[in-house]
Structure 1
Amino acid sequence: MKLRFLFFVFFSQSLIAQKVPLKLWYNKPAEYFEEALVVGNGNQGATIFGGTKTDKIFLNDITLWSGEPVNPYMNKDAYKAFPAVKEALQNENYRAADSLIRQIQGKYSESFAPLGTMYIDFGHENPSNYYRELSLDDAISKVNYKAGKTIISKEYFYSHPDKAFIIKFKSSVPGQLNFTIRFDSQLKHSVKSENDLLHFAGRAPIKADPNYVNNKIDPVVFADNRGTRFSGNIFIKKQTGKTVKTENSIGVQNGTEAILMVCMATSFNGFDKDPEKDGKNEQAIVSQRLSRIKNTPYLVLKDKHAADYKKYFDRVKLDLKPDLSVNLPTDERLRRYATGAEDKYLETLYFQYGRYLLISSSRTEGVPANLQGLWNPHMRPPWSSNYTMNINAEENYWLAENTNLSEMHQPFLSFVENLEKTGRISAKTFYNANGWVCHHNSDIWGMTNPVGDFGKGDPVWANWSMGATWASTHLWEHYIYTKDVDFLKNKAYPLMKGAAEFCLDMLIKDKKNQFITAVGTSPENVYITDKGYKGATLYGATADLAMIRELFIDLIEATNVLGGDYDFKNKLEEVLANMHPYQVGKKGNLQEWYYDWEDAEPKHRHQSHLYGMYPGNHISMAETPGLAAAAKTSLEIKGDETTGWSKGWRINLWARLWDGNRSYKMYRELLKYVEPDGVKVSYQRGGGTYPNLFDAHPPFQIDGNFGGAAAVAEMLVQSTFDKIYLLPALPDAWKSGSVKGLRARGGFEIDLEWENGQLKSARVKGKPGGETELVYKGKSKTIKVANGGVATW
């Protein structure tokens, strides 16, 4: 193929011809949470069942959690136990190390709380022509059905500009709209009707233990005048009909059209402020929000919402040339796909659904999307719906930069700022170390201690200490996509340096005079020593060293950008040069442990020792082919059957190995149909996708959605600080297609078109631009593109 390189601004609009509506749709109401459709404005969300007798809607606010600001001094003498753990490992006494390290634990995280449930009673028992959808193009959900001779239509959207959940009901026959609204909550709450609105208020518990803790008494504790408060108003704006109400319900009789405006708020005022004593005035916020919109026409609210959403969502278009003759409900599409049928529309839909979910759940400063995004119906949700820092919280943000949603990365990046403040105290009190640390779990209160209820937690998950190391690499990622030097200088670099200072204090020299971590674990995995002991605690875990390498490499690059801090740079370079190198085991795999030990679970869901290949960048096909080959062998040993979030990770890893067909195989498996949790099934349910396209761990965890979406972009474009690889892992199944708007490191935006498996055209826009090298099938070309400038290949 002859490659031609030209500079010009014009680019044919025929590259992207995506006119097919992107929507999830169904021909019946949802019965289970995993069938319902979700909307959100990045701070609050609703889960819509679309019922006809009763329309059930779960409501959530991402700032409504159990608990109060964490006491970072909860185990202030824990550091005294650390030398004994180090000594046990130096003596190869792994059993003692596993026992002693339990003294270096603190409390569990708090739990994300369900705000409440709206019940809208219509009483339509046996409707016909039922239709329910969620449009990804404008973030609007709709329900239509026929009740007798009347068509009932409903529209739902959650507005970011107006901070309100808006619903419109309409009857095709005048005077036939009748409904009653009720509210209930699992939290302490009150409900009362006032004029044309229903008011509710309450508070979250001060403690909600994780669902896996078998408490005999009081796993959930409420207290008067403590905890986060919430408040909300449901306002009815009708054209005709009569408002009817009881003490705790409100509704409409004989109406034709009605608009519901739902405004909510909490007293949460920051991770370090008491939400009761120093909280926001949530009732005043609700009243202000409602007063601003109650007289605004519905179409104005709708247009503002759509315009705000589309300015993010429309940045990326993907066209895989789907077969448009297939038009099936989404759940039927999934079932059909599971039989092996081709469905490029479904594959595109899943990718764009991940982007939709991130826009809808990640627009709150300092409060990122959690394990369930922001949609949670449980008082004690799975794994507390918290921030699991050993993969899941970070996986939520793998798609933020490369799928052109950098603004949605900000909640996580600002959350890291919160973690640093408590993390410095945790570093001192648990290790007597400098810098800052974060462990396995965190929550809205910026908790950074090792979890485990002060010694009850298994070290295999409770005592992992690389959360700050991993999270800090996101700061550098944001910089290399945006090249925002002010962000790097004033926010990213100090936080990254603090995380690195902790790592330096955790490093010791081994018998070969190489740097290793003195104490560590490999997330949630268990080794078997040559003497048969099964344990978690060890020195020199590959995952620890991989994350430290990546952070140190990033920091060295950051000092090159910023200039100065040369003594610290020299220290990092010295340690990197003398760090214990990766080892290839007897099976040809990349070793997970310092020694070539066996895994207790060879097919374990975590693959943290492959971090350097993805999400890290220091192992690659181009630069370290030997290590890449060993990583590939590790993946082959693990196999492809795993949990939903782990599938998302492995798809990205196979993409980095430039094996598009293996990536695609696992992408198909990520889309394996899984019945809702409430359905009793006789077969084993592995990771996959629920009817509403939620990721099935199982149960639901949103990280698989985000990881899977990131992997689609990774198959089409990969990049380093100075190179962009075009179609590096294009699967045979995606023979022809186009994509517009993906981002690349170095500050670029990429449009591609391919045909018969070959690159047809590429367009590179400077955002802000600079110099990079385009690489395609072994051929390369260096380009220099100014901010706003365009190059084509």
Structure 2
Amino acid sequence: MKRILFCFTFVIVPAVMFAQQHQLKLWYKQPAKEWTEALPLGNGRLGAMVYGGVGEEHLQLNEGTLWSGGPVKANINPDAPKYLAAVRDALLKKQDYAEAIKLAKKMQGLYTESYLPLGDLYIKQQLKDTAQLNYYRDLDIGRAVATTRFTSNGVTYTRTMFSSAPDQVIVLRFTADKPGQLNLKIAANSLLHHQIKQNSRTVMALSGKAPSHVDPVYYNPNNHPIEYNDADKCTGMRFVLKYKVINEDGRVLADSSGISVNGASSLMLLVSAATSFNGFDKCPDKDEQLIADSYLAKAAAKPYATLLAAHIADYQKYFNRVTLNLQPPAKNTNAGLPTNERINGYTAGAADPGYESLYFQYGRYLLISSSRPGGVPANLQGIWNNEMRPPWSSNYTININTQMNYWPAEVTNLSEMHKPLFGFIKDLSVTGKTTARQFYNMKGWVAHHNTDIWAISNPVGDKGQGDPKWANWNMGGNWLCRHLWEHYLYTNDKKFLKQDAYPLMKGAAEFCLNWLVEDQNGYLVSVPSLSPENDFIDENGKKGEVSVATTMDMSIIYDLFTNLIDASKALGIDPEFRAMLVAKRSKLYPLHIGKLGNLQEWYKDFKDVDPHHRHVSHLYGLYPGSQISALNTPAFADAARKTLEIRGDDGTGWSLAWKVNFWARLLDGNHAHTIIRELLKSSLGAQEDIHHGGGVYPNMFDSHPPFQIDGNFGGTAGMAEMLLQSQLKEIHLLPALPDAWGAGDVKGLKARGNFSVDIKWANKKLVSAKISAQNAGLCKIRTAEKIEIKGVKLKVQQTSKGYVSSFTAKKGNTYVLNAL
């Protein structure tokens, strides 16, 4: 084989790529009035929403570990295991679904805690003329820098801001193009209980304590949903927010009201914050003051240029790995519009593939900004929240939403950002082992529908107040295990598989082995079983939600067993356990096709209460699983297609994002693009309900409604899935390319097997590709056209779905292929 000398690296970036990335901006001609118009900055821990006001700049701030509550308490509901047999009897023998609901409620624990806002920073600026001349603000996602610029009374003022991961501070620089024109008053506030102190002439501190408990916004049993308990040292973590002015000229003075700056030409403002969080299972007792002071002092010793350069280098090390260029139509008049106007034009029907590629990269920006190694995972709103009782507690909802946050991590070359989730799964396995024992008298570990920074794993619901169709669903941990396996598939990291993934996957499988029982036909079934947040109409015309062997439950268990079997083979361990899994898997209740030709969602072919329900949980085997595929299981793929047709193309933001991935897996690029147009439309004026929500806010945040970040991440993953798939142990190039993306190129995507992939296409056909092998091994490439790789002898198989070309790749080689 000829060794190809040109080999990709994804840290050294060509000048052309820099030019492309520099154009990746959200920009506006006016300040933000609403939170969903403000622009997000983040370093994985410190988040800021920048409003860009003229007379008053406003930064709404977050710190990723600031939550209510404390470590999970044991023995929340000691009677819970008593009801399992009764629930199973009601379902398997009596088919009394109403009774099953009543009994399931008796097996619930407490609700999760809530992610909280840190505070608000206000910078009032004295201006002689408040008229906005040449106003401009942007978020450059190629550099992770926000800029606000305007002219007042002949003076141009510029504010530049970023959240630095290397220095762990938020940095703001204020400049005026004429000397001595900056006159500012800087002050902070918080919705949490707090005190404000002057630390020095240039430093202010806001410190306080989080609530000991916050009820979910949808649960209001009393008049005190936010509780503070200063006597309990294990709940209500402490926090501190500090800010320091570093001026080059002018006068700076701090007092109890904040910091005043007069007559400056430029200055730097550093923002540091920390909490006392010390891990999911410990009382929050870290010294937050010491942590915040340390970050602030180290950053203050560096000039602005050094801080900025370190920030950009660190960020672009990840972001610049992938570029996406979707060539615009001949007349794309919207490309030069401000982002809010561009969204409106797209909503009105304009073709704007550049906006679609911006959305793709925005998802990558948000993941880098909200999930960094060593930190906690991105929650339901990433790290950005401005409410004391945020929607759904801004927690970790693990019946789809948390998982969706990390769908783009591996395929869009951000594997490192996946790591916080792995650490969290390990935490969850610890509390989950207690939950398995205390709620079910079973081995292994289990996690349900909701969790939080404390890794709560029990069925939520304040011991009987939760709706079982979401509260009692217990496959969340099993689903999260797919992320462990995916990371191995993409990286081939056997050390990670052996030390981290395999033990966690095995513990989850041990619970499943305890949980499964035989039905009257000898199949192993999950009982009780839910299809998250959905319900059915039984044979007697009655509404039900707690069932037996829902397709989602059985698909997740099948997936876990299959992945664990493959992991055991890869590591060469546990042959007896592997053999048992193979035997148990063969007895799992199988997939069924319903009378409408759809994939059956329930144990029986029940009717839907809501045929257009936002959840399409029973298609788990299509995506993110691989049990169903258009290539290998066409009958079930057709049933999945029918299911999606019945569900319809409406939905909330995250639901639309999931549908993009479904249609991509069905190899229907045009339908996937139809959903993308729904996902990326303006949410303003849309019906805010569970069917007709979706779209984006002016800052391109996904609208559930309200804001949920999972739609952004799921949309990015779906676009990648349209361009590259590898779940079937082959690299499928352009599997679901829509007509709207007739020409373009993508660089730096990852395929399973640890391959990096570049693709170029024109006239909806593959032109060329480059595949870089980070590991040696068999490489299969599926294409619509026949290909060649110079110097490589390919084994080619022609199928009804195109060509499959295979060869043995050598580690470190890059293979250039061309379509014939």
Normalising by the smaller structure, the TM-score range is: over 0.9
CA offsets 1:686-739 (integer angstroms, 9 cap, x no match): 211000000000000000000000001000000026211110000011001000
1:62 maps to amino acid: G
Partner of 1:734: 741
Of stretches 508-517 and 62-71 in structure 1, the one that deviates more from structure 2 is 508-517
The C-alpha deviation readout for 1:202-251, integer Å capped at 9, x for no partner, is: 11101011000123321001122641111122100001111133313112
Three-state SS of the structure 2 residue aligned to 1:779 is strand
Residue in structure 2 matched with residue 103 of structure 1 by the alignment: 106
The match for 2:613 is 604
> Contact 1:365/1:415 (CA < 8 Å) preserved in 2?
no
C-alpha displacement of 1:674? 1.4
SS at match of 1:549: helix
Alignment of 1:409-448 (within 5 A): 409-448=418-457
- Between the aligned partners of 1:469 and 1:114, the Cα distance in structure 2 is 31
Alpha-carbon distance in 1 for matches of 2:391, 2:536: 26
Any idea what SS the aligned residue of 1:520 has? coil
Q: Does 1:236 align with 2:245?
A: yes
Q: Which moved further from structure 2: 399-408 or 720-729?
A: 720-729
Find the partner of 2:167 among 162, 168, 171: 162
Matched, 1:203 2:209: yes
How many Å apart are 1:289 and its aligned residue? 1.2
Does the CA-based 8 Å contact 2:107-2:464 persist in structure 1? yes
Distance 1:721 1:596, change over 3 A: closer
Give the drift of 1:20.
5.8
State the Cα distance separating 1:80 from its structure 2 match.
Answer: 1.2
Tell me which residue corresponds to 1:8: 4
What letter matches 1:297 in structure 2? P
Residue 153 (structure 2) pairs with residue 153 (structure 1): no
Contact 1:6-1:792 within 8 A present in 2 as well: no
What SS does the aligned partner of 2:775 have?
coil
Q: Is the 8 A contact 1:401 1:743 kept in 2?
A: yes
The CA deviation at 1:292 is 1.1
For residues 20 and 63 of structure 1, do their structure 2 counterparts lie closer, same or farther at Cα, with a shift above 3 Å needed? closer
Q: How does 1:45-444 map to 2 (within 5 A)?
A: 45-91=47-93, 92-124=95-127, 125-193=130-198, 194-224=200-230, 226=233, 227-275=236-284, 279-322=285-328, 326-363=335-372, 365=374, 367-444=376-453
8 Å CA contact retained: 1:350, 1:709: yes
Deviation at 1:85, TM superposition (A): 0.5
Matched residue of 1:68: which SS?
A: coil
**3-state SS of paired residue (2:671):** helix
- Selected match of 2:34 from 32, 51, 54: 32
* Residue 782 of structure 1 pairs with residue 806 of structure 2: yes
Over 3 Å counting, the alpha-carbon distance change for 1:783 and 1:20 in structure 2 is: farther
Distance 2:430 2:509 in 1: 15
Measured in 2, the distance between the counterparts of 1:682 and 1:60 equals 28
Partners of 1:255 and 1:127 in 2: CA distance: 21
Counterpart-to-counterpart distance in 1, 2:431 and 2:299: 39
What amino acid is aligned across from residue 149 of structure 2 in structure 1? N
The 10-residue stretch of structure 1 (146-155 or 668-677) with the greater mean CA deviation from structure 2: 668-677
- CA-CA distance at 1:681 after TM superposition: 9.8
Q: Verify the 8 A CA contact 1:209 1:219 in the aligned structure 2.
A: yes
- Gap regions ≥5 residues in structure 1: none
- Relative to the length of structure 2, the TM-score reads 0.93
Measured after TM superposition, the shift of residue 603 of structure 1 is 0.4
The corresponding residue for 1:763 is 770
1:334-364: CA deviation from partner (whole Å, max 9, x where unpaired): 0000111011111010000000000000015
Shifted more, 383-392 versus 362-371: the winner is: 362-371
Letter in 2 for 1:158: S
Q: For 1:493, what is the secondary structure of its paired residue?
A: helix
- Per the alignment, in what secondary structure is the counterpart of residue 733 of structure 1? helix
Aligned positions, number: 784
Looking at structure 2, the residues matched to 164 and 19 of structure 1 have their Cα atoms a distance apart, in angstroms, of: 24
Distance in 1 (CA, whole Å) between partners of 2:103 and 2:692 is: 37
Deviation at 1:15?
Answer: 10
Which moves more between the two structures, 151-160 or 512-521? Answer: 512-521
Moved beyond 4 Å, runs of 4+: 11-17, 680-685
The answer on whether the counterparts of 1:660 and 1:730 sit within 8 Å (CA) in structure 2 is yes
1:636-651 matched pairs, under 5 angstroms: 636-651=645-660
Q: Which residue of 2 aligns with 1:791?
A: 815
Q: Give the alignment partner of residue 724 of structure 2, picking from 712, 717, 724.
A: 717
Q: Superposed, which structure 2 residues align to 1:687-698 within 5 Å?
A: 687-698=694-705
User: Within 2, Cα distance between the matches of 1:459 and 1:425?
Assistant: 20
Secondary structure at the aligned position of 1:695 is classed as: coil
**1:207·1:220 contact (CA, 8 Å) conserved in 2?**
yes
Match of 2:598 in 1: 589
Task: Give the alignment partner of residue 749 of structure 1, picking from 751, 756, 765.
Answer: 756
Bigger CA drift: 592-601 or 191-200?
191-200
Contact kept? 1:33, 1:676, Cα under 8 Å = no
Q: What displacement does 1:123 show? A: 3.9
Whether the 8 Å CA contact 1:770–1:786 is kept in 2: the answer is yes
The CA distance in 1 between the partners of 2:72 and 2:373, in whole Å, is 20
Deviates more, 1:666-675 or 1:361-370: 361-370
Please say which of residues 497-506 and 625-634 is displaced more in the overlay. 497-506
| CA distance in 1: counterparts of 2:670 and 2:187, whole angstroms | 51
One-letter amino acid of the structure 1 residue matched with residue 75 of structure 2: Y
Q: Structure 2: where are the runs of 5+ without partners?
A: 9-13, 785-801
Q: Distance in 1 between matches of 2:3 and 2:581?
A: 40
CA contact (8 A) 1:331 1:691 kept: yes
1:558-606 CA-to-partner distances (Å, cap 9, x unmatched) read 0110112111111111111122211100000000001000010100000
- Give the counterpart letter for 2:213 in structure 1: K
Change (3 A) 1:545 1:738: same
CA distance in 1, matches of 2:508, 2:214: 30
Structure 2 CA distance for aligned equivalents of residues 580 and 78 of structure 1: 26
Percent identity over the alignment is 47
1:594 partner letter:
Y
Alpha-carbon spacing, 1:769–1:128, altered in 2? closer, same or farther (3 Å): farther
Matched position secondary structure for 1:399: helix
CA–CA separation in structure 2 for the residues paired with 1:729 and 1:665: 12
With normalisation by structure 1, the TM-score equals: 0.97
Report the CA distance between 1:792 and its aligned residue: 2.2
The alignment partner of 2:737 has SS state of coil
User: C-alpha distance in 1, partners of 2:575/2:395?
Assistant: 38
